[in-house]
Structure formats: C-alpha cells, structure tokens
Chain A
Amino acid sequence: MLKTQELTLNMGPQHPSTHGVFRCVLNLDGEYITKVVNHTGYLHRGLEKLAEARTYTQFIPYNGRLDYCSGMMNELAYVMTVEKLMGITEEIPERAQYLRVIMSELQRIASHTIYVASFSLDIAGFTGFMYAFRDRDRALDLIEAASGQRMMPNYMRIGGVAADVDENWFSQLQKLLDDMPASLDEYDGLITGNEIFQARVKNVGIVTREMALDIGFSGPNLRASGVDHDLRRDEPYGIYDRFKFDVPLGEQGDTFDRFVVRIKEMRQSVNIIKQAIKDIPEGPIMAKVPKVIKPPVGEAFHCIENSKGHLGFHIVSDGSTKPYRTRIYSPCFVSLGFFPIVAKGQHLMDAVVTLASIDIVLGEVDR
C-alpha cells in the first residue's frame, strides 16, 4: 500500500485569484480539497471605529473604501441611514432622488462588469476580462464626470447629492445605454456560450435554496439559488417603487447561475436608468439640512440592495456631531462563510471558480 499524505496549502494572502488579500488554508488530498479554513482581516482598517471619530459628513468618503467596486451605493446606504436617523427621508428633492437611482444603477453595471471580468480571468479567459473592462470604464467615466472621481466618488450627501449633471452628461449616458445590450450579447457570445466555460462552471459549487438562506446569502447570490428577493422591489427605498424591472432568478444555484444572474441584472439596470432619464425633473439637488449635522438621540438601521447583496448601516446617535457607534453589515463577509462548506471535496480548480462566483471584495469583508 502506497503511503499518502495530505498537503496543507496556504492560499493567499498574496495569490492571483483570492481577489485581494483573502487567505485560506486548504488541506489537499491530491488536488481535491478536504478542509478549508478562512482567514480574513488582512485589509482591516477599522472603518467602524473610525466613524466614531468623524462627524457624520466626514465619514461619507470612507464608504468608497468599503467595497471599492461600488462606491456610490455604499455612500447611498450610509447617507440614507443618517437621513432616517434625522427623519428627513421625505424631504430629499425629486431630482436628487432620480440622480441617486441613476448613479446606483450605473455603479451596479460597473460592479457587475468587474465581476464578469474577474470571473472570466479566474477561468483564464483573459479576453473576456478586457471586454468587460472596456464597458466598465465607460460607466466609470460617467461617474467621474459627475463626481470627479472614478472609484471613490464622494457624491452622495446627507439630504441630496453633491453635484448636478448637465445635458451633455445625459447624452453620454444615453450612448452607453444604447451600446450596453450589444456588449452584454458579446459577453454571452465570448464567455457564457463557450463550451469550455460551461463545462467548468455548470454544477460546480452548488448552493441550494435552503443552504443560501442558512448562510445568509443576499443579492444576486441569493437570487441565483432561486430565492425571489430583491430589496429594490420588496422593500423599495428611495424612489425604486416607481420603476418597473424584472428580478432575474437562477435555477439551481451553481456558479453558472450566479454568473448569468448578474448579466441579466445588468440588462435590468439599463432598463431602470432608461426609465429614470425619461422622468427626471428639474429642480434642486439638496434638501435644506443644517450645516452641522446633529441627529437626535436614537438609532437607525437601513439596508439597501448593493451590487453584492444587502448592505446595511446601523448608526447609534448620542445627539452629538459624531455617531456613538456605527456598524456595517457587509454582504461579502456573510457570503464568504459559504466557501469552507462548498469548497470541501472540490477540485482545486473548481474552488477558485467557486470563490470567484460570489463576488467578494476584501475591502468590505474586512472593513
């Protein structure tokens, strides 16, 4: 009888496909994984603690560093929580509401294209990466034109948005929206329809409906497992109840479904932006909020549908200019808990795809 031995492999924190500084310790039997232990914390910057030492307004730019692929939506989640705390949710001007939706959906497209790109790269399809980045850059250019920064926009304000956009910006946006469906068809042709791609991702990393709910999946990951839940439709925040859009669902919750759901979501985002452009009114972009923000004593929790799932902020106010405690509910951290469960028994190559399929951003996992 041949003597065999399990191999302990430290994957990360410096590894091409752990999406940042995530580290996991894998026990390998040949190339099959027998045990996974997650280790996070390499990007921990103590954002929750930092919030306690900053005024409410000062903390807005820090949100861009949370999930650095969807800065706009993180800021939106934060400012909406503060607005809820101050009780001014109803006072936000119409134009600002529409701009918030347009920016959020634009950011969702940017975030999902980066998912398509990195997923394609994780199965060594470098060309798919470049195709997706081409379109992501166009979305980021628009965000830059509106806010002045590509990835850390600092655009949302408590009571509205920082800057208005002009007709030229809208015409650029319209061009992107016109081209986007063709680009998505290109992804389908190059990546989704590829024989090798389908062999690699179908029936890999299956998360059933029950498992997804147990782990606490949210957003596209949850919908890929067949749970019909979208905060934008079920508990509409802002003015999302005014738009008509579909919520794409997956069938069996494998990596392929998680990929396809995101591509379909981008089509819906394009849809939502189109409706928003049609209806956007003229008017002010900031509500009348005091210069120094001092919410009343109390606490508030608000959750929005981020590109990765439910992003929630829980802020406790003691009546001063700084929050007493800020807690960030991060979808990526919760989703990452599925990796040790699902990766067990998988091939090393499948584990990489499985990890890529839940779209983690380490900035948000570690906060």
Chain B
Amino acid sequence: MDIFIKIAGALQDWLMNGMGLSVTASELIATAVWALVAILFILVNLIILVWMERKLGAFFQMRRGPNRLGPAGFLQFPVDIVKVLGKEDIIPAAADKPIYKIASICAFVTTICAFAVIPFAKGMVLEDLNIGIFYFIAIGSTATLSLLMAGISSNNKYSFIGGMRTVAQMISYEIPMAFSLLGVVMMAGSLRLTDIVEAQQNMWFVIPQAIAFIIYFVATIAETNRGPFDLAEGEQELVAGYFTEYSGIRWAIFFIAEYGNLVAVASIATIMFLGGWNAPFGLTFLPPFLWFMIKVYCMIFMFMWVRWTFPRIRIDHLMHFGWKFLIPVSIANIMVTGIGIYVYRMITN
C-alpha cells in the first residue's frame, strides 16, 4: 500500500526534473496537492459518515432511515448538499457581518489543519512534525474560537448562550483530553505521531493506558460537541445553539467541520491507543491504510452508539464531571504511568 507514497515521489520527481523547478518550489506544489487530497478525504468520509449516522440512528430507533436515493439511500447526503447550496444565505441585519461570515470558514480550516499531522500509514503523512500531538491539541483548541465567533456575531440570544456554553465546555474538556494523551507520550517517548505508532508494534497502548483511553473517549465527545455532550447546540433549550441563525452553505460548512473533527479525533484515538496502521494479531493480509480506516470507523461507531443512546447531560453536571472527576483521574493516570516507567527501567537496567 505504498502506492500513495510512490505517486507522491513520482509527482515531486516530475516537478523537479520534468518541469525544472527548484526543490523548494516543487515541495511547495506537492504539499498543496496533498492538502487538497486531505480535503477530498474529509469530504469522502463525510458522505460515508452522514449515511452511516443516519442508518445507525435508524437502526437504533427501529426505523428504516434514508432508502430512496441510490443504494440504501447512500446518495441522500450529496443531494442534500446540492439542496443546501441552492438555499438563500441569510445574514441577520443586526449581525456582526465580517465575523459572522468567516466564522464557519474558520471552523472548517481548523479541521483541515488537524489532518496535516495524521499518518494514515507508514510514510503517508502530510507533515511528520516532531511535535505532532502537541500541534493537534493546539489546533483543536482554536476550534473553540470559531464557534464563539459564530455565537456572538449572530446577535441572537440563543446563539449567544450556545457560544458561552461552547467555550466553557471545550476549554474544560481540553485539559483531560491533553492529559490522557500525555500518558501515551510518556510511554512512547516521543511527540511524533509516527514514532508513537511504531512503539505500538508489540502492544497497543490501549492495554496499559485503558483509563486514559476512556478519559480520551469521553473528553473527545465533549470536544466534538456530540451527544450526550452537545450542550452548545442543545436543541431543546437553545433551538440550534451557536448556528441558530446560519442557513444554506454556511450552515453546511459547520456541519462538515463537525464530521471532519469526528474523523480527526477518531484518527488520533487510533494512533495513540489502537496501534495506528499496525495490523492486529499479525493479520497483515489487509494493507495498513485499510487497517487504519477500519479502526477509525470502529471508533466512530462507538461515538454514534453513545450519541443515539444517552440523553443530554446538564451543563453544571458536565463541568463537575470534567473538573472534579476526569482531570484528577487523568493526573493520577500520569503519575501511575510515570512510576510504572521508572520501575520498569529500574528492573530492565
């Protein structure tokens, strides 16, 4: 499955030798092409995910789900997007127009940026940063800003409350999320995502870091604003939360960004805890890239399962749960991991 890497090498080779460009210019163009590929990757995943969400939701609720357009309703979402493109783009008269307009784009950009460091297979990574996981967390926290921008600029009370909730929720859940990943980083001894995957060839980190995995799972549900932590858009009291006023394609971009985030956090969970592209039990007949995607989709299935089963939690319970339970437990996990590593080194030396 190094076909993608070979294509990449061939393209760069052609740009340098065939077109006679300098090394810097050819690398720049190649990076741009791969960024485009990343966006396409998100969009392709989006179609599958929305279909999957609808079908799974229907399955959990004893409904049929979409079944008219295409095989098993698979074309429903592409057609929905066409519909959304044709909708009028309404901007409220009293809205803060420039901020209102760029808010949805900001949300999408942060999502794409997160994909820059995610290795899908050996060598299949846009930019193998030596601080990969740090970069991912940093980019993830800027997503808060775009939701706050949308909430405040709409000049709508429901949006405003939604925006406030988003900030409170995302900032408090970023801490346990980052702390839960720290345990893995300590065990792998590197912030580089490819190194972390390589370190899991013999044992996935989900086994020694089971508590961290659960904390990460809970915290990311809150980070991606999905049920039961979808307080920012709590339909029952806030109509649609921060994007109440958005319509047409601007609304759809928020929607795309949400699912893009879902893929990103599921990918990180796969890389950090589920061994990345490493095949389980030596089942190497499938290419590493496919193994990676299977694991990502298993994670996403879990997210959807939780979403369609649980009712929404109350905001103060959410805060208590984050600050009084998840953060202490994740700090304790770091301590135990540290002691464990120390003891292990003492024994092996």
Whether the pair B237, A348 counts as a contact (CB closer than 8 A) is: yes
Q: Which of B62, B235, B309, B313 contacts A199 (CB 8 A)?
A: B313
Q: Which of B63, B161, B311 contacts A348 (CB 8 A)?
A: B161
Whether the pair A15, B311 counts as a contact (CB closer than 8 A) is: no
Q: Which of A124, A128, A199 contacts B236 (CB 8 A)?
A: A124
Interface size (A, Cβ < 8 Å)?
32
* Consensus secondary structure, chain B interface: helix
* Consensus secondary structure, chain A interface: helix
**B284-318 interface (Cβ within 8 A of A):** 308-317
Q: Which of B228, B239, B313, B314 contacts A350 (CB 8 A)?
A: B314
Whether the pair B310, A200 counts as a contact (CB closer than 8 A) is: no
Interface size (B, Cβ < 8 Å)?
29
In the complex, how many angstroms separate the beta carbon of B214 from the nearest chain A beta carbon?
15
- With A and B bound together, what is the CA distance between A121 and B312 in angstroms? 10
Whether the pair A125, B62 counts as a contact (CB closer than 8 A) is: no
Residue of chain B at shortest CB distance from A15: B239
In the complex, how many angstroms separate the beta carbon of B229 from the nearest chain A beta carbon?
10
Q: Which of B57, B160, B230, B317 contacts A124 (CB 8 A)?
A: B230
- With A and B bound together, what is the CA distance between A184 and B106 in angstroms? 46
Whether the pair A16, B239 counts as a contact (CB closer than 8 A) is: yes
- With A and B bound together, what is the CA distance between A349 and B62 in angstroms? 28
Whether the pair A352, B237 counts as a contact (CB closer than 8 A) is: yes
Whether the pair A200, B313 counts as a contact (CB closer than 8 A) is: yes
With contacts A17-B236, A122-B236, A348-B237 known, is A127 near B61, CB below 8 A? yes
Which residues of the partner chain A approach B140 to less than 8 Å between Cβ atoms?
none
Report if A7 contacts B (CB, 8 A): yes
In the complex, how many angstroms separate the beta carbon of A323 from the nearest chain B beta carbon?
41
Report if A194 contacts B (CB, 8 A): yes
- With A and B bound together, what is the CA distance between A110 and B312 in angstroms? 25
Which residues of the partner chain B approach A200 to less than 8 Å between Cβ atoms?
311-314, 317
In the complex, how many angstroms separate the beta carbon of A237 from the nearest chain B beta carbon?
37
**A1-24 interface (Cβ within 8 A of B):** 7, 9, 15-17
Which residues of the partner chain A approach B57 to less than 8 Å between Cβ atoms?
126
Q: A16-B239, A200-B317 are in contact. List 11 more A-B contacts (CB 8 A).
A: A7-B157, A7-B160, A31-B164, A120-B311, A125-B312, A126-B308, A200-B311, A200-B312, A347-B315, A349-B312, A349-B314
21 A-B pairs whose Cβ atoms sit less than 8 Å apart in the complex? A120-B311, A124-B228, A125-B310, A126-B308, A127-B309, A130-B63, A190-B309, A191-B311, A196-B228, A199-B314, A199-B317, A200-B311, A200-B314, A347-B314, A347-B316, A349-B234, A349-B237, A349-B315, A351-B237, A352-B236, A352-B237
Chain A contacts to B: CB under 8 angstroms: 7, 9, 15-17, 28, 31, 120-128, 130-131, 134, 190-191, 194, 196-197, 199-200, 347-352
Q: Which 3 A-B pairs have the closest CB atoms?
A: A124-B312, A125-B311, A130-B61
